[in-house]
Amino acid sequence: MTTVTSDLLRFATVGSVDDGKSTLIGRLLVDTRQLFDDQLDAVAEASAKRGVGDLDLSFITDGLRAEREQGITIDVAYRYAATPTRKFVIADCPGHVQYTRNMATGASTADVALVVLDATKGLKEQTRRHLCIAALLGVRHVIVAANKMDVCDWDQTVYQAVVDQVHSVVDRLGYRDATVIPVSALKGDNVVERSLYATWYEGPTVLEALEAAPAGSWATSSTGARLPVQWVLRQLGGGRTYAGMVNGATFNLGDEVTLLPQGVATTVRAIHGPSGDLPAAIPGLSIDLDVADDTDAGRGDLFATAPLPQVTKEFDATVCWFSDHALSSGTRLRLKHTTRSTPVMVKSLSGTMDVETLSVVESSQLALNEIGLVHLVTADPLVVDDYRDNRVTGSFVLIDERSNATVAAGMIGHADFL
Amino acid sequence: MTNSSDTFAVNHLDLLEAHAIFILREVVAECERPVLLFSGGKDSAVLLHLAIKAFAPQQLPFPVMHVDTGHNFPEVLEYRDMMVAKYGLKLVVASVQEAIDKGRVADPGPLGMRNRLQTTALLDAINDHKFDAAFGGARRDEDKARAKERVLSFRDAFGQWDPRQQRPELWQLYQGKVNAGEHLRAFPLSDWTELDIWKYIQRENVPLPTIYFAHNRPVVHRDGMWLAVGEFVHPRHGEVVERHTVRFRTVGDASCTGAVRSGAETVEAIIAEIQVTNVSERGATRADDKFSETAMEDRKREGYF
């Protein structure tokens, strides 16, 4: 298992529309003093102009004109914050089912999902859908804000009902932990400041939970080192090196590596980093690799250390479908995996996921925003790992050849809960 | 051999640098004719530095483009030409003056603001040169509309950005295919903050135009900002020309980019200063963002950087 840790936690807000995700992020940013005076002034002015009170906290991340007019989030807003303990990259995602693709975008790089739900309304279908997608994307830690507790007068039975509902879903989806926090984002209870009303609650605030959550879990991997070749660099005085970003595990000088799909074995002669030569390159670094033997490696090929990935033209995968035109057996698309693109055909669709029951049901079509299990056949061989073992070599996107739109997110293999 | 249960601590700037280099290489590999937008500002200076690293020891495999409003700080033009000579860059100049002369845009007058006119000059140049990708130094922490934008941001045949129809962009799988006439904007510095930029400038000794550092010059106070009195800014009736020690936090059109009162003469001093400031960089220095609630979004929709 390789883990790259940093003092940086990436988290995404997930949950249904109107449950208060953007308001919670606004509250978190205001109460930890992340906003500049002019930014706060601008939010106050915009709130007054639209008659939504002194300071509509959701306007801090809902920055688009249409978002403020409609009072919903349309696309992910990325915000950067720092407390004395750690740095945060926040992806504030939309809750509306129409913008599920944007939620998946925000959650795809998250270490932790911050689930926001309206405690008085319980766990809605859209929240279950988001929890499914986040689980498929490999998020393993959730912090749940049971929001709007002020509306039910901090009734502990309401909170307990949320805890029970949340656990029935997250345990099934394979999440490792789920902290449920009674919150009022609007009033600022248990976000940064401890609530004076939830006297029966002894757990962490949202900020405390975020500061304690494991950072860097996104890049955790159990495969060997991988370098998908992006670009070939000609060196002065002859020779070539292979540029790309390391994933999986560390490359060391002298490592035996295999060039795939060719299957040519060689060794690492030098590792050029952005500021000079390195003895080793950890996951996440952009390097160029010099190998001992002449190879004909090019873009789309991959250098790997053992255990080696699979070279294949056929595989099972889980896809989240983002197009209005349904996918079915026989659909032809383009696939981008690491640095390689190839024509692809859907050989079969073995089922779609029922978000309500969390079970797979038979279906001949995969409609917009549905999750499906497919068997794909590619024109060119791909060098793949299972998504659970490596998020880089295990992921792909599907592209509509005519419009060039990205129509699906794909993960090689199936999650345990499917 | 795979090491079992290895845990590595990694430096934040190293990861930002690696990610930016990855994006630069990915776009160059996938697009036919990329170009790097180089204003001479600190963000484009960092972007150029990263691009040089990404393709070393080879020459930069694409030209750089300066969208020239005609209202330049002389120090910035000097800097631009110095960097072009230093790295042997191919420079394309997209001239707002030319767009005015050709009647493509209305002349706002000798002292008028030319910021918004840059969009026409930029889109014309992208068209003329058939560029299908333009790297920019924009960062998500600059503005609430930029906070919403993808790393690879699709533009239609009219150069427009549609924030409701952005492509899903999962993991670090950047998908840059466009049809003829369309193009991409690519933002390798999306996840960098102003402080990250300055810390990287410090670590890498990235050269910058001198106006980023404290200097004494005549200024007038207008719309809550200090504007440098010079060829393009004359004192209006009732305005008093004062001399102050100032520096610029951003570099844009000379007629609408404000200076901040500061004695910070070194990168170290600037870092210390921005760690305690209460005002955002665009709030402090850009008149063009103050027209309306969604000024940046409105300009971006039309094709602005």
| CATH number of domain containing A404 | 2.40.30.10
A335 within domain boundaries: yes
* Rounded Cα distance, B147 and B140, in Å: 4
* Rounded Cα distance, A271 and A268, in Å: 7
Mean pLDDT score, A224-249: 94
pLDDT band at B64 (very low <50, low <70, confident <90, very high): very high
Asked whether the predicted pLDDT for residue B1 surpasses 60, the reply is no
User: What's residue B226's pLDDT?
Assistant: 87
Predicted confidence (pLDDT) per residue in A129-181, tens digit:
999 999 999 999 999 999 999 999 999 999 999 999 999 999 999 898 899 99
Give the residue with greater pLDDT, B283 vs A207.
A207
CA A57 to chain centre: 25
User: What's residue B103's pLDDT?
Assistant: 81
Which A residues, 119 through 148, put their C-beta within 8 Å of a C-beta on chain B?
Answer: 137
Mean pLDDT score, A263-273: 96
Mean pLDDT score, A292-313: 95
Distance from the A119 Cα atom to the nearest Cα atom in chain B, whole angstroms: 28
Q: Which of A111, A119, A105, A118 is closest to A142 using CA atoms?
A: A111
Q: Is residue A104 within 8 Å of residue A407, measured between CB atoms?
A: no
3 state DSSP class of A356:
coil
Mean pLDDT score, B169-175: 94
Q: Is residue A233 within 8 Å of residue A287, measured between CB atoms?
A: no
Asked whether the predicted pLDDT for residue A66 surpasses 60, the reply is yes
- In one-letter notation, the amino acid at residue B25 is R
A77 within domain boundaries: yes
User: What's residue A130's pLDDT?
Assistant: 92
Distance from the A144 Cα atom to the nearest Cα atom in chain B, whole angstroms: 23
Side-chain-facing half-sphere of B38: CA atoms under 13 Å = 29
3 state DSSP class of A87:
strand
A418 within domain boundaries: no
Same domain, A164 and A271: no
Q: Cβ contact (<8 Å) for B284 and A102?
A: no
Mean pLDDT score, A52-59: 80
pLDDT band at B287 (very low <50, low <70, confident <90, very high): low
Judged by a CB distance cut-off of 8 A, whether residue A44 touches chain B is no
Query: Angle A80-B160-B178 (CA atoms, 0-180°, nearest 5)?
Result: 90
A2 within domain boundaries: no
Query: Angle B282-B288-B292 (CA atoms, 0-180°, nearest 5)?
Result: 100
Predicted confidence (pLDDT) per residue in A376-413, tens digit:
999 999 999 999 999 999 999 999 999 999 999 999 99
A1 within domain boundaries: no
Q: Six-digit token pair at A311?
A: 């070279």
Side-chain-facing half-sphere of A239: CA atoms under 13 Å = 13
Q: Of A251, A280, A304, which one is at a domain's C-terminal end?
A: A304
Same domain, A204 and A247: no
Instruction: Examine the predicted complex and report whether its ipTM is higher than 0.85.
Output: yes
CATH superfamily to which B12-195+295-302 belongs: HUPs (3.40.50.620)
3 state DSSP class of A5:
strand
Predicted confidence (pLDDT) per residue in A337-362, tens digit:
999 999 999 999 999 998 888 889 99
A3 within domain boundaries: no
Domain housing A92: 8-219
Asked whether the predicted pLDDT for residue A371 surpasses 90, the reply is yes
Same domain, A56 and A168: yes
- In one-letter notation, the amino acid at residue B294 is T
A205 within domain boundaries: yes
User: What's residue B185's pLDDT?
Assistant: 94
Asked whether the predicted pLDDT for residue B158 surpasses 60, the reply is yes
Same domain, A295 and A233: yes
* Rounded Cα distance, A242 and A97, in Å: 42
Same domain, A196 and A335: no
3 state DSSP class of A63:
coil
Q: Cβ contact (<8 Å) for B168 and A5?
A: no
Same domain, A75 and A157: yes
CATH assignment at residue A105? 3.40.50.300
Which helix (H) or strand (E) element contains residue A141? strand A141-147
pLDDT band at A254 (very low <50, low <70, confident <90, very high): very high
Q: Is residue A39 within 8 Å of residue B283, measured between CB atoms?
A: yes
Total domains, chain A: 3
* Rounded Cα distance, A208 and A382, in Å: 43
Q: Which of B271, B142, B281 is closest to B203 using CA atoms?
A: B271
Give the residue with greater pLDDT, B16 vs B223.
B16
Q: Is residue A340 within 8 Å of residue A393, measured between CB atoms?
A: no
A96 within domain boundaries: yes
User: What's residue B2's pLDDT?
Assistant: 39
Predicted confidence (pLDDT) per residue in A4-47, tens digit:
656 789 999 998 888 888 899 999 988 888 887 888 888 888 88
Which helix (H) or strand (E) element contains residue B125? helix B118-128
Q: Of A304, A338, A361, which one is at a domain's C-terminal end?
A: A304
User: What's residue A4's pLDDT?
Assistant: 61
Asked whether the predicted pLDDT for residue A122 surpasses 70, the reply is yes
Q: Of A304, A327, A345, which one is at a domain's C-terminal end?
A: A304
Q: Is residue A44 within 8 Å of residue B49, measured between CB atoms?
A: no
Which of A45, A236, A305 has the CB atom closest to B2's CB atom?
A305
| CB-CB neighbors (< 8 A) of B11 in chain A | 6
Asked whether the predicted pLDDT for residue B28 surpasses 90, the reply is yes
Average pLDDT across chain B, whole number: 87
Beta strands (DSSP E) in A222-330 are 226-228, 231-234, 240-245, 251-252, 256-260, 264-273, 276-278, 280-281, 286-291, 302-304, 310-321, 327-328
| First-to-final CA distance of chain B | 46
Q: Cβ contact (<8 Å) for A395 and B175?
A: no
Which of B55, B57, B167 has the CB atom closest to A236's CB atom?
B57
Query: Angle A141-A146-A149 (CA atoms, 0-180°, nearest 5)?
Result: 160
Give the residue with greater pLDDT, B281 vs B66.
B66
Q: Cβ contact (<8 Å) for B9 and A108?
A: no
* Out of A47-56, B26-35, B55-64, least confident range: A47-56
Same domain, A231 and A215: no
Which helix (H) or strand (E) element contains residue B228? strand B225-228
What residue spans define the domains of chain B?
12-195+295-302, 208-289
* Rounded Cα distance, B212 and B225, in Å: 16
Report pTM: 0.91
Per this entry, what is the length of chain A?
418
Please give the backbone phi and psi of residue A223, each rounded to the nearest 5 degrees, phi first.
-100, 180
Judged by a CB distance cut-off of 8 A, whether residue A6 touches chain B is yes
* Rounded Cα distance, A232 and A222, in Å: 27
Q: Cβ contact (<8 Å) for A45 and B167?
A: no
Q: Which of A105, A131, A106, A104 is closest to A117 using CA atoms?
A: A131
Q: Which of A42, A9, A11, A43 is closest to A26 using CA atoms?
A: A43
Secondary structure letter of residue B3 according to DSSP: P
